[in-house]
Structure 1
């Protein structure tokens, strides 16, 4: 195995020989064998170990084992202890997902602070098969079927071409000791069910099953690369970038066949998964939208607008005094002045005594109304936007300044009649929006 591993590194990752590496080592078979392989080939690496404190003394014994292994191999050792259960309460999600995020967040910190170039993990061919079957069982596209990547930015997995049986054989031949994780024997988790029940039957049915799987996955990776090239060319043609927004012409989208497959190709990277909804959006009335975790896809007449969902879109901001300025979410300069001077869409003059502190910055919502400056009576903001021919994207990005739940200013567009400066005004506040 050592000779094959050396050849694989020279062919696939020749740059690793000249870099400093962090090897994620749990103390289990795979990562321990990988540490011996790297040592045999004289790589410059350190062992890093995460103690998630989920198995009592067993977790601490794993950490001690890896520390002793680092001493034996004469390499640096880093460890970190996590309160995983507390993090689960704070972050939400499964224990596996939280532990994974904690692990890789720490690895990234170590790369920055300790001068290492890459993190090496011990994922092997059987891990790739299990991941393939998990994704297949949940429903996935071609990206989910290509499995675990050999390299993902700073994360490298040099054992992926090797089976667990090869790793076991190498450990046995070289009298290598490792720690057994008791949780790996449990079938509580989906991965373990696949590992202990499904994969053995597949291998028993066909002794070449794992090799055939690896060959098939190589073909899927090739197909995925071709699709990536197609996607880049299509997005260059169809996606018009405007600041942080992407404008997509619906008529051009509708000419693609098969449509749903192309929609998946174009929008999958933005977190969308409900492809029927995306397809229906093309025929929907203006104003309809669908959202992923991080993006919004909005229908507006002849176009779709793809925009990131920013945290500030969901918040409101207090302005506690008139001697104040804000930078987030908008840059506003607030000052008391003695008279009116320069004017413009980005400047508001208001009667200070009519305003109630704190002022509030927020996005507009359905049902909002105000009294447009220069008009009699109130008007719904939705009607005002329609009359002013404000497009849907601009409406979604519209900020309001309000006082005691009353709109003072549709920022950059129209002030409210109720707060205007009159001959009776004693104190004037000037608010300038630096757009």
Structure 2
């Protein structure tokens, strides 16, 4: 196996020999074999072990084993202990999801701190088949049926072409020792049910079942590549880039064949997995939206607006003290006393500083906010102003206002308030400007 493994690394990860590798090391069969192979072949590898404190003494014995084994090989090891159950309760996550979040967050921090180039995990062909079947049972699309990728950003999976049987056989030949996780025998988890009951019967009913699956996966990958080629051709026809994200033309989208499938494939990379919710937004009223863990898709008249999720800070003030010349959070704002008016535009206003009450406040707008738009005599609700300006929900959420004693001085980037304007009686002028 070691020769096949070396050949695979040379072909698939040609730069790995010159990289610093962090390996996720549980102490189980798969990660023990991967660590041993990389060590025997002279790769620059270190191990990282997570003690999730979920199996009492068994978890501590795993930690002792990985320490001892790495010391035997002369490999550096990093160990972190987590209170997984408490984290899961606080975050309202399942124990499995909480462990995954803790694990990969720590791995990223460790890689950054110690300058590792890649993270290696010990997923193999049987894991890939399990993932395929799990996604299949959930009603996934083509992308989900591709299974586990060999490379995902800085994560690599060097054992993916090899079966568990091959890994176990090599471990026995090398007389390796490893730890068995008792939770792997529990049928409480879907993956374990597949591993213990479903997949053995599939292999029994058809010889070389795993090899057939690998062939199917290759065909699916090629089909997905074809889809992505098509997406690249139509991308510029229906999508335009905005300062805050992307805009998808619904009319142009509907002119293309397979509209629903096209939209789903366009949005899948942004974490949208609920097929029905994505399709329903096409015919929804303006203002409706769906969210993924990282992005939001907003219906805005004849288009869909895709932006990153916005963290709302409706009640937080970013204060500007008297005589303070600039701030850089949340915006770059400069305040300059001057003797004369200059050019006023969307990024620059001039106000009569005698009307200002410090400290000034930069905050998000709130329902009920009113101001007197420059050049007008009466007040206007911001919500009505936004409607007149035809601002999308995303644009409204990205907007900031400058206030003085709870009075709006400037809807930043849009309109100044008439109550603070410079007049013939003004004795002190303040120039307020935002910049990149």
Could you say whether these structures have the same fold, taking a TM-score greater than 0.5 normalized by the shorter chain as the test? yes
- In structure 1, the gaps of 5 or more residues are none
1:264 Cα offset (Å): 0.7
Trace 1:137-148 onto structure 2 (pairs within 5 A). Answer: 137-148=137-148
Pick closer, same or farther for the CA change 1:365–1:21 going to 2, 3 Å: same
Range with bigger deviation, 194-203 or 22-31: 194-203
Query: How big is the alpha-carbon RMSD for the aligned residues of Structure 1 and Structure 2?
Result: 3.2
**Equivalent residues in 2 for 1:264-275, closer than 5 Å:** 264-275=264-275
Query: Would you say 1:71 and 2:63 are equivalent positions?
Result: no
Aligned-residue offset at 1:179: 1.0
Give the aligned partner of residue 45 of structure 2.
45
Aligned equivalents of 1:392 and 1:255: distance in 2?
26
Q: 1:263 is matched with which residue?
A: 263
Alpha-carbon distance between aligned partners in 1 of 2:116 and 2:417, rounded to the nearest angstrom: 58
After TM superposition, list the pairs within 5 Å mapping 1:26-425 onto structure 2: 26-88=26-88, 91-311=91-311, 316-319=316-319, 321-324=321-324, 325-334=326-335, 337=337, 341-342=341-342, 344-345=344-345, 346-350=348-352, 352=354, 355=357, 359-388=360-389, 394-403=395-404, 405-419=406-420
Give the 3 Å change call, closer, same or farther, for CA 330–320 of structure 1 in structure 2. Answer: closer
- Structure 2: distance between partners of 1:7 and 1:388: 62
CA change 1:145–1:434 in 2 (3 A) is same
Distance 2:17 2:375 in 1: 73
2: CA distance between counterparts of 1:372 and 1:10?
66
Deviations 1:142-179 (A, max 9, x none): 22211111122322212112222222222233322111
Structure 1 counterpart SS, 2:48: strand
Query: What SS class does the counterpart of residue 433 from structure 1 fall into?
Result: strand
> Structure 1, residues 159-210: CA drift from partner, whole Å, max 9, x if none?
1122222222222333221111122222333322332233233333334332
Mean CA deviation greater in 166-175 or 396-405: 396-405
- How many angstroms does 1:426 deviate by? 8.6
Taking the aligned partners of 1:390 and 1:13, their CA distance within structure 2 comes to 48
Cα gap change, 1:233/1:313 in structure 2, threshold over 3 Å: closer, same or farther?
farther
Residues 273-329 of structure 1, C-alpha deviation per residue, up to 9 Å, x if partnerless? 344444444445544444333333334444333222343676743315233332122
Instruction: State the distance in 2 between where 1:75 and 1:238 align.
Output: 52
Report how many aligned residue pairs link the two structures.
Answer: 433
Q: How far apart are residue 351 of structure 1 and its match? A: 5.6
- Taking a change above 3 Å as real, the CA distance of residues 307 and 119 of structure 1, as seen in their structure-2 partners, is closer
Q: Are the aligned partners of 2:349 and 2:416 in contact in 1 as well (CA < 8 Å)?
A: no
Instruction: Check whether the contact 1:408–1:416 (CA below 8 A) recurs between aligned residues.
Output: yes
Q: Specify whether residues 278 and 110 from structure 1 end up closer, same or farther in structure 2 by C-alpha distance, changes over 3 A only.
A: closer
TM-score in terms of structure 1 length: 0.86
Write the distance in 2 (CA, Å) between the matches of 1:391 and 1:30. Answer: 51
- For residues 362-403 of structure 1, the C-alpha deviation after alignment (integer angstroms, 9 at most, x for no partner) is 333554332334433322223334445656664443322234
Give deviations 1:67-91, integer Å, cap 9, x for gaps. 2212322333332333434544555
Report the Cα distance in structure 2 between the residues aligned to 1:415 and 1:18, rounded to whole angstroms.
Answer: 57
User: Which secondary structure state, in structure 2, belongs to the residue aligned with residue 50 of structure 1?
Assistant: strand
Inter-partner Cα distance in structure 1 for 2:30 and 2:167: 7
Could you say if the C-alpha distance between residues 84 and 316 of structure 1 is closer, same or farther in structure 2, counting changes exceeding 3 Å? same
Distance 1:205 1:282 in 2: 45
